[in-house]
Amino acid sequence: MNMQQLPEELLSADGVFKMSTFLTYLPRFKNDITLIMDTNLPTDIPPPVLPSSITAFLAMLCDLSDEAIEKLWNLLKDVVWHWTEKMQAIDERYHLFGGNLGYRTFFYL
């Protein structure tokens, strides 16, 4: 899937905000998704489809249609599934460089 296949509701400034909301919330549900997944699927690979309960909940949280959530999942599932490692790397960078720039208070409340 490429950006041209995204629903119209995502192709605006507001859509970019909604995509960032999707990326903020969905990694928090990884354990919930893993619990619902078929036990034959490896847990280090994202499932091909989100559970309908997670799709419906994300649609409400992100103010998006179920179709948009499904398309975002198809596009970003690998990023979302490995987000924990990426966030740890980002946190390490803030620890190394943020304190001297005055960001310590903002990020370590």
Domain boundaries, the chain: 7-81
- Which among 94, 58, 57, 53 has a CA at the least distance from the CA of 76? 58
Q: How far apart are CA 73 and CA 62, in angstroms?
A: 13
| Mean per-residue pLDDT over the chain, rounded | 82
**pLDDT class of 10 with cuts at 50, 70, 90:** confident
Q: pLDDT value at position 11?
A: 80
Name the percent of the chain lying above pLDDT 70.
Answer: 85
Q: Summarize pLDDT for 47-90 with one digit per residue, the tens.
A: 999 999 999 999 999 999 999 999 999 999 998 898 877 777 77
